[in-house]
Chains A and B, each alone.
Chain A
């Protein structure tokens, strides 16, 4: 400060000072300490991520010492006694239940998000979105309990017999109605991922430039036409991102799936059949697993899950932020 004032007095042009808050040079010891601590805490997030990868790799190493990655992924035989570990039934079950969840939840979520942001009166919107947030607050194990009490009997006595009669020619709807199975787990997952997809889609829809919507309305468009002309073209990538986020949640969801999928190590085309999923096998066997290879196999299941959800989430975040920032900044 003193220096710059001296410059002014000397008749030299005044120095342009940078704003203090972004300038770390010349700060006091307190500032250095404070921002040092913050820096460490921020860096800690990276450390946590590193620890997750490192530990998953370490615990699953005994398995990969005796079995190749590809053998593990494509093997359909899982027997801790004979030490054969193939994760295909679990990978298949995880994918099938998650796909069922996304196929059921996304159309409902888009409709709901449109209703909240476009069709419903603005004053009503908070009263509609709050209950959706409640859906997100209910713990997974409670959904599982609900699924056991409501979803499974309902599927067994009404939905599956009906689907079997009406669409029994499709391989997906063949077989006896058991209740437990891919369909039960998938439907429960659909309910669980609904709030994620709705809230992210609604956020994206809200960023539609008001001028575009008003232009459509001014040309005489109905509300629905303003949706198809302005809101949907703007939000399409963001809704895809929201669906991917939902898919990511569905893939990793443990308790409800463990309770509803039936825990059978068979691979079946039919959605009525019981199956298994990656999180479910970890939840069921990890506490009882004693030898390192078995634990390693379960950790390898975790590693697969981690890699898939990491990639999905990264893609989804990118899509959502790209839409929210607007097309101008997508390039950077």
Chain B
């Protein structure tokens, strides 16, 4: 056995080293947040949220169409993706022990790791090629495909933690299986499922890659599902890689808006989870 002083030194040394890792991880986080807030806040104004973008060199202008476009496409994606995702999750939790269930679970887990740009190509092939048109619909199909596997996995976990005694109590009262599943099990897990949905939405709201060549971009307002549509993330990308200083400033402000949107979704989900935990106590 080595000398005790050496062992104690080793312990302190490794603790400090792990603490250094902690600091190393927090530096980029603080740096990103600080820059986005400090550089982005200056450009915030009512016009930024409501106006169309203006050409380089012109004062003012906003990203209203991109904000609407993001909300619109994410909304469409939710309509398609949320029911399927939650349904697949309930399927996995209640009927997921057979071969089909195991395969579905495995595929869902692996699909949630497929790069978003690949999903973009798939949406391009499925929607843009048949329609011969870049469109908001194509963008939202890509986002919906991303929502489904992620939500299926998280919903299953949430439903599996509902105590079996609840199901048994309901069944013992003569309630049918489907009413038990829908009105007892899913209802008990509801807060958690809503949280999972919010997190899934927050994830896809920040996606750029699958929108680049599905929804493309649009300089004007658009709420038609078959027309190209601007989005917050693509706007940030285009502003960021441009050589113009005033567009860079717009990129930072748009990034701040995006972070606020994503942050709001995350925060809501966190508050919901905390209330649920309080209720359980």
Contact = CB atoms under 8 A, between A and B. Distances in A.
Nearest to A128: B22
A141 B206 contact: yes
Interface in B137-158: 145, 148-149, 152
B177 interface: yes
Contacts of B240: 141, 144-145, 148, 259
B106 A314 contact: yes
Interface in A25-43: 27-28, 30-31, 33-35, 37-39, 41-43
B11 A254 contact: no
A305 B118 contact: yes
A222 interface: yes
Nearest to B206: A139
Contacts of B7: 222, 225
Interface string B93-111: 0111000110110111111
Given A108-B25, A259-B237, A119 B18 contact: yes
A15 B107 CA distance: 39
A325 to B, nearest CB: 14
Interface residues of B, number: 93
Contacts of B161: none
A313 B117 CA distance: 16
A184 interface: no
Contact of A52 (B21, B32, B114, B236): B114
Contacts of B22: 111-112, 115, 128
Contacts of B35: 146, 149-150
A33 B176 CA distance: 12
Contacts, number: 274
Contact of A224 (B15, B83, B176): B15
Contacts of B48: none
B171 A39 contact: no
A114 B19 CA distance: 9
A111 B202 contact: no
B29 A131 contact: yes
B152 A59 contact: no
A115 B177 contact: no
Contacts of A90: none
A302 interface: yes
Interface stretch (A70-78, A169-177, A206-214, A280-288): A280-288
Given A55-B125, A56-B122, A314-B106, A279 B178 contact: no
B213 interface: yes
B233 interface: yes
A21 B121 contact: no
| Interface size, A (range) | 35 or more
Contact of A112 (B25, B208, B236, B266): B25
**Which of A19, A145, A282 lies at the interface centre, i.e. has the most chain B CB atoms within 10 A of its CB?**
A145
A114 B18 contact: yes
B92 interface: yes
A198 interface: yes
A314 B32 CA distance: 32
A63 B207 CA distance: 28
Contacts of B106: 314, 317
Nearest to B255: A142
B171 to A, nearest CB: 5
A140 B108 CA distance: 22
Interface of A: 19-21, 27-28, 30-31, 33-35, 37-39, 41-46, 48-49, 51-52, 55-56, 58-59, 107-112, 114-115, 119, 128, 131-132, 134-135, 137-146, 148-150, 191, 194, 198, 222-225, 227, 245, 248-249, 251-255, 259, 279, 282-283, 286-287, 298-299, 302, 305-306, 309-310, 312-314, 316-317
21 contacts: A21-B94, A31-B178, A33-B178, A43-B100, A44-B84, A45-B108, A45-B149, A45-B152, A51-B122, A52-B118, A138-B32, A140-B208, A148-B240, A148-B241, A222-B8, A252-B113, A254-B116, A255-B233, A279-B209, A298-B121, A299-B125
Given A223-B11, A255-B237, A282-B117, 4 more contacts: A41-B83, A225-B10, A283-B117, A302-B118
Interface of B: 7-8, 10-11, 14-15, 17-22, 24-26, 28-29, 31-32, 35-36, 39, 83-84, 87-88, 90-92, 94-96, 100-101, 103-104, 106-111, 113-122, 124-126, 129, 134, 145, 148-149, 152, 167-168, 171, 176-182, 202, 205-209, 212-213, 216, 233, 236-237, 240-241, 251-252, 255, 258-259, 262-263, 266
The 10 closest A-B pairs by CB, nearest first: A252-B115, A139-B206, A111-B21, A41-B87, A42-B91, A34-B178, A222-B11, A313-B113, A254-B209, A55-B125
